[in-house]
Amino acid sequence: MPGTLLVIGGAESHDAGDDAILERFVSLAGGSDAQLVVIATASEAPAQREKEYVEVFHRLGVERVTPVRLESREDANGEPAVGAIERATGVFFTGGDQLRITTAVGGSKVDSALHARLSDGMVLAGTSAGAAMMSSTMILGGSIASVSTSSVQTGPGLEFLPGVLIDMHFAERGRLNRLLSAIAMFPHELGLGIDENTAILVDTDAAVFEVLGAGAVTVIDAGPARRINCPAADQPIALWGVQLHVLPAGHRFNLTERTPMKRSEEDHAD
Amino acid sequence: MPGTLLVIGGAESHDAGDDAILERFVSLAGGSDAQLVVIATASEAPAQREKEYVEVFHRLGVERVTPVRLESREDANGEPAVGAIERATGVFFTGGDQLRITTAVGGSKVDSALHARLSDGMVLAGTSAGAAMMSSTMILGGSIASVSTSSVQTGPGLEFLPGVLIDMHFAERGRLNRLLSAIAMFPHELGLGIDENTAILVDTDAAVFEVLGAGAVTVIDAGPARRINCPAADQPIALWGVQLHVLPAGHRFNLTERTPMKRSEEDHAD
């Protein structure tokens, strides 16, 4: 059974009756039988974030929810954390600063355990910073003011979803330019701009994702670009012939072929 | 001689030594022999805007700069305004609210005079609201939060540049979604997102534009889109296979063929 990734663009709704994304996470992780781990390492107020998610997962019918506090490399190499991951059917990374995740977790025993559990079929979810860190190359920060090599900073992520570059809060923070800047420099990566309260659910085996939630996922594919010119520093980048797709809930995308796919319910239609 | 349009994405620099866009306008309109008209109808503080532009055009060596105040339909049908347009070699529309321009000027004698002078070879420039009103369909307002039919309001512009939909302050205000929303509904129009302190210089005869200024022009072409689904109201729109180009200064674009072109200095290269 392939592992499942749930990559959320931030600010997913926690309200009862309007929490489809978190409900989907719970359901994929086993519903009331789920054993969940919440990792709020990205946050500067981890206790508060842990409390929030424990409460919402309890409300969604999961009894066993364990916050795992990873504040140091020592924590991330410690038996308690590794044991919790090994028992988990679902792990949730909260938002905050993605560098706090990679510096604490990258290359640790928890990192290895997460990859192993994902291969075993676990559900790994992350929102905002917890989403950004999922790809091989992640966006660390940047500016929306122009498309230039200085408009975006990238670095290695935790490699749960290779081949993509994920940006979050995409529409809400007007981040097209910083994603285009990154994709112009690294066109072998596919750019995924995920709106708030919106997610992609990735079947890692099939390399197909489906969009969930209220907003859309903007896919930027510079593979077919006929011209990319990346001058130094803050000089504007030229990009000719980028493919762009806007995919709302229900739409699917094949990450290998880089093409949108019909929605499941349309498989036998037209 | 074909007329020239200078369509500026707002906030063009007025600083001495950093005023390339306005300098280009002056130079195209005849340099020190130019006879310029400034129309600040879009603004709620027209006197202040007029003063600003008169000052900068004087500094750029033009003696004859006439602010033409069009506060009513009566003004826009009056002989003084029409006479000023007929004598002008260049007309500049300031920013503000594009509806103030269309409601005062649309269908008036000034409107006709502007079109006639443009055909005769005049330079017509506009920034921000003065840029938005140039196309046949203009964006009136909208939201950046999603791609949906309710994310953008459009209406008829003054039709100086048919076939395009212009959005301005594009990168700075993160307006991809509202431009995509408009283009999804009206894919026969080409979307042009113009950054601040950035402009397109349009040769209306050849239907070719060149990019000027500090930022870039983002071209959204939904012509080749394989799928566009526009559900009602605020439901997210689906768009598959939109072409996107990012064109910084020096890049040219053929509006008829909807293709980027090499820069002038590259014509005899590769």
Strand (E) or helix (H) holding B194: strand B190-194
Question: Could you give the CA distance from residue B51 to residue B38 in angstroms, rounded to a whole number?
Answer: 9
The pLDDT tens digits for B222-239 are: 999 999 998 877 788 899
| pLDDT tens by residue, A90-145 | 999 999 999 999 999 999 999 999 999 999 999 999 999 999 999 989 999 888 77
The angle that helices A20-28 and A46-59 make with each other, rounded to 10 degrees, is 80
User: What pTM, to 2 d.p., does this model score?
Assistant: 0.87
CA-to-CA distance for B109 and B115, rounded, in angstroms?
10
Q: How far apart are CA B247 and CA A240, in angstroms?
A: 8
Q: Tell me, what's the pLDDT at A218?
A: 97
Nearest Cα to Cα of residue A170 among A162, A160, A180: A180
Domain that includes residue B101, residue range? 4-264
Structure tokens belonging to residue B269? 């290269």
Are the CB atoms for B218 and B176 separated by under 8 Å?
yes
Nearest neighbour of B251 by CB, restricted to A173, A226, A238:
A238
Residue B75 has pLDDT above 50, yes or no: yes
Contact A243, A218 (CB under 8 A): no
Given a cut of 60, whether residue A156 has pLDDT beyond it is: yes
How many CA atoms lie less than 13 Å away from B137 in the CB half-sphere? 17
> If pLDDT is split at 50, 70 and 90, which confidence band does B187 have?
very high
What is the C-alpha to C-alpha distance for residues B241 and A265, in angstroms, rounded to an integer? 21
| Residue from B37, B44, B127 nearest B76 by CA | B37
Q: Is residue B269 part of a domain?
A: no
For an interface test with B, give the residue of A149, A198, A237, A240 to mutate (most B CBs within 10 A): A240
Task: For residue A1, name the pLDDT band (cuts at 50, 70, 90).
Answer: very low
> What region does A112 belong to: left with phi over 0, alpha with psi -120 to 50, or beta?
alpha
Tens digits of residue pLDDT in B82-95: 999 999 999 999 99
Find residues 117-176 of chain B whose CB sits inside 8 Å of chain A.
144-147, 171-176
Q: How far apart are CA A240 and CA A221, in angstroms?
A: 11
| CA atoms of B6 and B130, how far apart (whole Å) | 10
Residue A270 pLDDT > 50, yes or no? Answer: no
Q: What is the mean pLDDT of chain A?
A: 93
Averaged pLDDT, B91-109 = 95
- Give yes or no for residue B26 having a pLDDT over 50: yes
Domain assignment present for A269? no
pLDDT at B265: 58
| Amino acid A266: pLDDT | 58
CATH number of the domain at A154, please.
3.40.50.880
Among the partner residues B176, B236, B246, nearest to A248 by beta-carbon distance: B236
Q: Which pairing describes strands A64-67 and B90-93: parallel, antiparallel, or unpaired? A: unpaired
Please give the residue that has the higher pLDDT: either A269 or B104. Answer: B104
**How close B203 comes to chain A (CA, Å)?**
21
Do residue B218 and residue A243 have CB atoms under 8 angstroms apart?
no
CA dihedral angle for residue A204, residue A196, residue A97, residue A182, rounded to 10 degrees: 70
A window 250-269, beta carbon within 8 A of B: 251, 260
Does residue B113 surpass a pLDDT of 80? yes
Q: Known catalytic residue: A268?
A: no
* Other C-beta atoms lying within 10 Å of the C-beta of residue B224: 12
Distance from CA of A143 to the nearest CA of B (A): 10
Residue A66: pLDDT above 90?
yes
Q: Are A241 and B249 a contacting pair at CB < 8 A?
A: no
The answer to whether the Cβ–Cβ distance between B246 and A172 falls below 8 Å is no
The helix/strand count (H/E) of chain B reads as: 8, 16
Q: Is residue B90 a part of any domain in this protein?
A: yes
- Determine whether A196 is an active site residue: yes
- pLDDT higher for B19 or B146? B19
In a domain, B182, yes or no: yes
Question: Residue B111 domain-assigned?
Answer: yes
- At residue B270, the pLDDT reads 38
Give A248's pLDDT tier (boundaries 50, 70, 90). very high
pLDDT at position A259 over 70 = yes
Sequence-separated (6 or more) residues with CB below 8 Å from residue A132:
A98, A138, A139, A157, A166, A167, A168
Q: Would you list the DSSP string of A215-251? A: SEEEEEE-TT-SEEE--STTSPPEEEEEEEEEEETT-
CB-based contact A145 B172, cutoff 8 Å? yes
- Tens digits of residue pLDDT in A14-62: 999 999 999 999 999 999 999 999 999 999 999 999 999 999 999 999 9
Distance CA B135, CA A91 (A): 51
Confidence bin at A194 (pLDDT 50/70/90): very high
Buried b (16+ CB within 10 A) or exposed e, B251-269: bbbebeeebbbebeeeeee
Chain A residues close to B251, C-beta within 8 Å: 238
> How far apart are alpha carbons B43 and B51 in whole angstroms?
12
DSSP state for residue A159 in the 8-state scheme: -
Cβ pair B207, B255 in contact under 8 A: yes
Phi, psi of A150 (to 5 degrees): -90, 0
**Tokens representing residue A184 in the block:** 């112009």
Q: Considering its fold, how many domains does chain A have in total? A: 1
pLDDT class of A269 with cuts at 50, 70, 90 = very low
Task: Look at residues A62, A120, A129, A144 and name the one whose alpha carbon lies nearest to residue A96.
Answer: A129
What pLDDT does residue B266 have? 58
Q: How many CA atoms lie within 13 A of A253 on its CB side?
A: 29
Percent of residues, chain B, with pLDDT higher than 90: 83
Model confidence at B257, pLDDT cuts 50, 70, 90, reads very high
- DSSP for A31-62? GGG-EEEEE-TT-SSHHHHHHHHHHHHHHTT-
The pLDDT value given to residue A129: 97
pLDDT band with cut points at 50, 70 and 90 for residue A231: confident
B270, part of any domain: no
* Percent of residues, chain B, with pLDDT higher than 70: 97
Confidence band, pLDDT 50/70/90 cuts, at residue B2: confident
Residue A169 annotated to the active site = yes
Question: Is B25 contained in some domain?
Answer: yes
Place of tokens 């072998």: A188
Residue B204 domain-assigned (yes or no): yes
Tokens read off for A62: 């999961």
Expressed in angstroms, the distance from the first to the final Cα of chain B is: 30
